[in-house]
Amino acid sequence: MRILISGASVAGPVLAYWLHRHGFTPTVVERAPAPRKTGGHAVDLFTPAMEIAERMGVLERVQAKATGTEHLTFHREGIARPVEVGIGRFLRSVSDRHAEIMRDDLAEILHDATRDDVEYVFGDSIASIAERDDGLDVAFDTGAPRRFDLVIGADGLHSNVRRLTFGEESRFTHWIGAYLAVLSMPNDLGLDGRMVTYSGPGRMAGVYGARHMDDARAVFLFRTDRPLDYHHRDTERQKDLLRQAFAEASPQVGRMLDELDRTPAFYFDSITQLRMDTWSRGRVTLAGDAGYGPGPAVGGGTSLAVVGAYVLAGELAAAGGDHTRAFPAYEREIGDYVRRSRAFALGAARGLIPGSHARLRILAAAARLVTVLPEGTVRALAKLNRSGVRLHDTVTLKDYRPEGPVRAQSR
């Protein structure tokens, strides 16, 4: 069976890997002209995604490229002394296995693990999909039309396959009251395994770096009462909105904002969550952020994307390629994880960007506690937490592995 996947970041290559291992023939089309190498942003792999990385034979490479962020220096506007936070021990308490890695490093590792067995087409995009009784006729922006048995959109929050199949994105995205920006800047502070954040009511700016990264990444999160008015291609307007949101913040944040005029990589988006009742129609389905992105930077979307891709491939294999059985089974299997990730993201957005000085004080007190308590106690407290802080570790993976040993894919 020939299966076309749109998107070669996280969900796409994981899906391609497992589809190939189950005996399908995947093709991945990616809009970017080459595998992404601009860095992107740090993402998290929690227990079930680490388990899948291990089953794919790429865990060692993932761990070698981990950012290793262990410490966080938490500054609050108007307060001289920062709080030093053991962020590594906190993350170990919410998940038994965790790695933070730059998204593009992860995408490169996943591409390397599949490139010999899977056809990749870079620099193209699906232009139209026409469903027939026995397959799909797919036209591309530049390549010749081709026929596939199934099409899977793994092309992110602003998915092209979703738009072509389900209609305009605004029908499914829910703004959760905040915005997110990331830029690349020189690592003047020599940050290695440390993140420094500056928080005020309704806004948080932070910068982090790692030894193997050439630059540092500045990240900005801020809340607004109503949606901002800008075009998604108008970066100058987005930069202005960012400057306004962080007006009169600390000089360190001003220094980060100065980089807006020079940065080679800038990202700005609303923090929106996708809410679809079903993400499959006919011979088309969605995986990762395209179908169930819980919200960038707040919902653990990367682990969800890895698990979703693994489960989709597994259910297709279990149903012998019959998508009418496999797609509903896939949605049932990860539905609960998706719903809980959305709920988690809403809470995380509120927690990470407190709206008042009083709430910032509470956050600082909690951060201090995480740092002074023994790690075992922090872990025990996390296990008692009923609001879902250990969300990912409650996911049980089905073993869809075909017979035979995993072929080591690491290069």
Ligand X SMILES: Cc1cc2nc3c(=O)[nH]c(=O)nc-3n(C[C@H](O)[C@H](O)[C@H](O)COP(=O)(O)OP(=O)(O)OC[C@H]3O[C@@H](n4cnc5c(N)ncnc54)[C@H](O)[C@@H]3O)c2cc1C
Tell me which residues touch ligand X (CB under 6 A): 6-12, 29-32, 41-44, 103, 125, 154-156, 160, 180, 182, 267, 288-290, 293, 296-297, 300-303, 305
Q: Smallest distance from the beta carbon of 119 to ligand X, in angstroms?
A: 14
Q: Checking DSSP bridges between strand 71-76 and strand 194-200, what pairing results, if any? A: parallel
Q: Is 300 left (phi over 0), alpha (psi -120 to 50) or beta?
A: left
Q: Smallest distance from the beta carbon of 42 to ligand X, in angstroms?
A: 6
Q: Measured from the CB atom, is 143 or 373 closer to ligand X?
A: 143
To which H or E segment does residue 92 belong? helix 87-94
Q: Is 286 left (phi over 0), alpha (psi -120 to 50) or beta?
A: beta
Going by C-alpha positions, the residue among 400, 144, 156, 131 that lies closest to residue 282 is 131
Q: Measured from the CB atom, is 33 or 405 closer to ligand X?
A: 33
Q: Measured from the CB atom, is 160 or 273 closer to ligand X?
A: 160
- 25-42 burial, b at 16+ Cβ within 10 Å, e below that, comes to ebbbbbbeeebbeebbbb
Q: Smallest distance from the beta carbon of 78 to ligand X, in angstroms?
A: 27
Q: Measured from the CB atom, is 156 or 200 closer to ligand X?
A: 156
Report CA torsion sign: 155, 161, 162, 163: positive
Going by C-alpha positions, the residue among 94, 84, 106 that lies closest to residue 39 is 106
Q: Measured from the CB atom, is 31 or 146 closer to ligand X?
A: 31
Q: Smallest distance from the beta carbon of 270 to ligand X, in angstroms?
A: 11
Q: Smallest distance from the beta carbon of 79 to ligand X, in angstroms?
A: 25
Q: Smallest distance from the beta carbon of 358 to ligand X, in angstroms?
A: 26
Q: Measured from the CB atom, is 79 or 265 closer to ligand X?
A: 265
Q: Smallest distance from the beta carbon of 197 to ligand X, in angstroms?
A: 13
Which residue blocks in 259-355 are alpha helix, DSSP H?
289-292, 301-318, 323-352
Going by C-alpha positions, the residue among 291, 271, 297 that lies closest to residue 100 is 297
Q: Measured from the CB atom, is 97 or 325 closer to ligand X?
A: 97
Query: How many alpha carbons fall within 13 Å on the CB side of residue 206?
Result: 23
